[in-house]
Structure 1
């Protein structure tokens, strides 16, 4: 009986729409980013989300800018960050360098985003271990200077 209930719930219209969406999106995703690369892309997306959260908090605390203004200004940057690994993957395919550019670009973006989110967390007053804060000191300084210039301008 439970088997029949499972089949009944599996054949629900919403599941049909989800399966159709996956059937369309999945090949496009694999074409753009390659197979077996979802884990590193999840890491990148997670770092970008944390960068948004910490950036909004730092903006509220130090820049006194509206969080929605900060967030809307980050959308083009985020789309660019998500497009770069796809471009690198396509270049890898053209140049027959399996994953060389893709992983190099993606790890570079993760490193850059890690620096940014750590500096934002520090500027927001969140506890960041001193050793890590020292690693991103130049990013913290650059963000603070940019915030001061925005206040003056």
Structure 2
């Protein structure tokens, strides 16, 4: 009886998720690969950013919450592209453009986070040169957050 409930519940959840995916992103097999790649980029960006912030001391839960909203936005952007394609009757052009544009941004952020986390020796030189401005920006932002955190802690002690 318990197994029957688990099978029914997992089947219902799976049916909902597949239907939601088809509604948001379409049902073309290439879209599965594109969104899977996109999700993996977001996950690697989060892992690199989390690790980097723990190493340099800039970790703050409020920044993580903002990151969650950012991730939701990044997941909805290709869905919006699919919806626009449906309205215009185009064969995935807007979906592809938005997915590629945001994937490039995530790729830069992920690479910069990997460097900040101390894993830069595995990043090719050409990739480091391509994202050098993003690396500098992330280091500056982390330094600013560390200073704000220290200032807040000093005020708390007083």
Q: TM-score category by the smaller chain? A: 0.7 to 0.9
Between 11-20 and 44-53, report the one with greater CA deviation. Answer: 11-20
Identify which of 86, 107, 123 aligns with 1:114.
107
> How far apart in 1 are the matches of 2:145 and 2:101?
27
Is 1:59 aligned to residue 53 of structure 2? Answer: yes
Matched residue, 2:70: 77
Q: What is the correspondence of 1:98-137 to structure 2 with a 5 Å cutoff?
A: 98-126=91-119, 127=121, 128-137=123-132
Deviation at 1:67, TM superposition (A): 6.0
Unmatched tracts of structure 2, length 5 or more: 149-158
Matched residue, 1:3: none
Deviation at 1:69, TM superposition (A): 4.5
- TM normalised by structure 1 equals 0.84
Q: What is the correspondence of 1:2-81 to structure 2 with a 5 Å cutoff?
A: 12-36=4-28, 37-62=31-56, 64-66=57-59, 68-81=61-74
- TM normalised by structure 2 equals 0.82
Q: Is the 8 A contact 2:82 2:94 kept in 1?
A: yes
Matched residue, 1:6: none
Unmatched tracts of structure 1, length 5 or more: 1-10
Q: Is the 8 A contact 2:45 2:106 kept in 1?
A: yes
> How far apart in 2 are the matches of 1:66 and 1:138?
21
CA shift digits 1:88-118 (9 cap, x unpaired)? 1001111111100101101111111111010
CA shift digits 1:126-152 (9 cap, x unpaired)? 122222211110110111121222233
> How far apart in 2 are the matches of 1:84 and 1:26?
18
> How far apart in 2 are the matches of 1:65 and 1:144?
10
